[in-house]
Amino acid sequence: MQHIIDRFFKYIKIDTQSDPNNPAFPSTEKQWDLAHVLVKELKQIGMQEITLDKNCYLMATLPSNLDYEVPTIGFISHMDTSPDFNATNINPQIHHNYDGKDILLNKEQNIVLSPDYFDDLLQYKGQTIITTDGTSLLSADDKAGITEIVTAMEYLLQHPEIKHGKIRVAFTPDEEIGKGAHLFDVEKFGAAWAYTMDGSQIGELEYENFNAASAVVTITGKIVHPGYAKGKMINSTLIANEFISLLPSNEIPQATDGYEGFFHLHTINGSVEKTNLEYIIRDHDKKLFEERKKNIS
């Protein structure tokens, strides 16, 4: 247990937030920091065919220890962390034998993690839970996945009596900003099928995916001294409010589940002269997805 925790803590201490406003691969140079740590670690545990390409896609191989051929399988996780909230100076906290009650993350700021709000917590009663102090992301998405994969490969290398075919692993950049698969070399990876180690509850297996897009709506207004504004001022923030109200109010993340699509307004920056609205658009149904994109445009 402690070995896994130590590895996880080492990864989350490395800031790897991606940048949705940068078209480069990777979108932030700091993602290389974790990639280089992983290259060194994969070599240390005995992985083979380790490659790190110019776009920060890292792949490695655990050779088969069978005397017959079986299909190659793969395991994938992403190295970047979401840019939506602070992910620097992470202070992880370990809660042993969770009792199913509220967890006080930060006494000074009165930040509480409660099963009354997140009832999934109750699935982990009696287990060890790792959280932040409430002031940052934990970066478990998806450094927990990386930890799982590296530790599993290490265990298999240490226990050759466990028979397995060829296993390929990959760690990718920029998943959080929707670009993680863009330059992924499927042929180079060479797996018959693969699993992404990312998600939520233990035992969950997702075998489908949604269609996703982002949209930036820019509204330009006209600023005039408010004492002389009648018939002249155009307030972009008020127009933005009108635009928001035109989209279906019940097709938002907090009002949908299952296969229901949504428009997610996640950022507003505005003044009288100019307002930007940043949306995420998602839908499992491709036809409905295309209609959503037309609707917002």
What are the E-state strand segments in the chain?
A: 48-52, 58-62, 73-78, 93-95, 103-106, 111-113, 129-131, 167-172, 193-196, 211-220, 262-270, 274-283
Q: Which one is catalytic: 19, 80, 148, 283?
A: 80
Q: Which one is catalytic: 133, 141, 175, 176?
A: 175
Count of other CB atoms within 10 angstroms of residue 208: 6
80 is catalytic: yes
Give the closest residue to 58 by CA, choosing from 162, 156, 146.
146
Give the closest residue to 111 by CA, choosing from 94, 138, 89, 133.
133
Residues 6+ apart with CB under 8 A from 9: 92
Whether omega before 71 lies within 30 degrees of 0, making that bond cis, reads: no
175 is catalytic: yes
Give the closest residue to 38 by CA, choosing from 62, 57, 18.
57
**Angle CA(177)–CA(178)–CA(182) in degrees, nearest 5?**
125
Between strands 167-172 and 58-62, the pairing is antiparallel
Rounded to whole angstroms, how far apart are CA atoms 108 and 118? 22
Task: Report residue 218 as tokens.
Answer: 């820019």
What amino acid positions are annotated as catalytic residues? 80, 175
